[in-house]
Amino acid sequence: MPMDIDQIRALSNDDMQAVNQLIQQQVDSEVALINQLGFYIVNSGGKRLRPLLTVLSARAMGIDNNEHHTLAAIVEFIHTATLLHDDVVDESTMRRGRETANAIFGNQASVLVGDFLYTRSFQMMVSLKRMRVMEILSEATNQIAEGEVLQLMNCNDAGTTEARYFDVIYGKTARLFEAATQLAAVLTEQNEHIERAMQEYGKHLGTAFQLADDILDYMADSEEMGKNAGDDLAEGKPTLPLLYAMWHATNDGDKALIQEAIEQSNGLPHLTRIQGIMEETGALDYTRQCAQKEVQMAIDSLSAIEDSKYKEALIALAHISIERTS
């Protein structure tokens, strides 16, 4: 019987409490607005999935110090900084079922506090005194920024290919997962084979997670998924379910409807019809199959490490990452 999320959280409870304490300490600033906004986002009910992956991976490889707590907090700060900036770029008003920071504090404060979290994460990297950690995280952070720019370029582009879509989700989502799990191997001084395997685990898990998110945009209500249904459609984002529905629509009218929705960001009034086209073409099923393949590749990568309850938790997390869509 695979672990459920409550068992995984119980297993990692001590580690995650230490990570959360560190996050609270490190978001502290003499600047009042940073404290206010920092407290809001740190306590915004996020899943802390990336730090959880970091500590579980480190434990699975026998970490014998507390460096994984610092690494997990760094990963969460980088992730949170990207969310703050994303919500400004996307003009989002809701995330994780709450108002976004930019909706409450304004765009300027959100961008600047995002910068604070980025730079704080680099201060914490230095504290680990490991050049390899700096190398991997600085490269990952740069690639995340590239992924965000590529997504911006793909917006309103109905000619986006499946390959380009996967390039975007690698950069904007999977790359940080990949760095988190790879760095757990670096901290525990694993050989190149295991480090590569953990890198692959994170990459495939992150890809599956984003595919699941893109499915949810067309099937869940805002309360269930913590954002507004059809947000991606409203922003003209050519995600895989939308592209697949356009490519396989059975008549020119449906193809034209989706093409215009992508190019003009005007698809929200047609959300119900577009969901119907997705049903007819099997677009969500296709995307779900892609996510399941990524999950299996993630799990296969873990054959490189020894069996343990932490490895079981990593396998279970891979399955849980896409359960939200079934």
User: pLDDT digit string (tens) for 70-81?
Assistant: 999 999 999 989
Mean pLDDT computed over 47-68 = 95
Helix axes 131-154 and 107-127, enclosed angle (nearest 10): 150
Could you read off the pLDDT of 26-55 as tens digits, one per residue? 988 889 888 888 778 777 766 789 999 999
Q: Who has greater pLDDT, 308 or 33? A: 308
For domain 5-323, give the CATH number: 1.10.600.10
Please provide the average confidence, as pLDDT, over all residues in the chain: 91
The pLDDT of residue 43 is 73
The pLDDT of residue 222 is 45
pLDDT band, very low/low/confident/very high, at 97 (cuts 50, 70, 90): low
Structure tokens at 206: 């992150």
The pLDDT of residue 110 is 85
Give yes or no for residue 236 having a pLDDT over 90. Answer: yes
In the chain, what are the helix, strand and coil shares in percent, each to the nearest 5? 75, 0, 20
Domain ranges of the chain: 5-323
The pLDDT of residue 95 is 66
Structure tokens at 2: 């695979």
Mean pLDDT computed over 152-173 = 95
Q: What is the rounded distance in angstroms from the CA atom of residue 53 to the CA atom of residue 178?
A: 10
Structure tokens at 57: 């991976």
Structure tokens at 151: 């997504």
Structure tokens at 32: 């009042």
**CB proximity list for 58: less than 8 A, separation 6 or greater:** 67, 68, 71, 184, 187, 188
Could you read off the pLDDT of 173-232 as tens digits, one per residue? 999 999 999 999 999 999 999 999 999 999 999 999 999 999 999 985 544 555 566 888
Backbone angles phi, psi at 50, to 5 degrees: -65, -45
The pLDDT of residue 45 is 61
Q: What is the rounded distance in angstroms from the CA atom of residue 148 to the CA atom of residue 168?
A: 7
Q: Please give the DSSP secondary-structure letter assigned to residue 192.
A: H
Instruction: Return the percentage of the chain with pLDDT > 90, whole number.
Output: 75
Question: What is the distance, to the nearest Å, from the Cα of residue 31 to the centroid of all Cα atoms in its chain?
Answer: 29
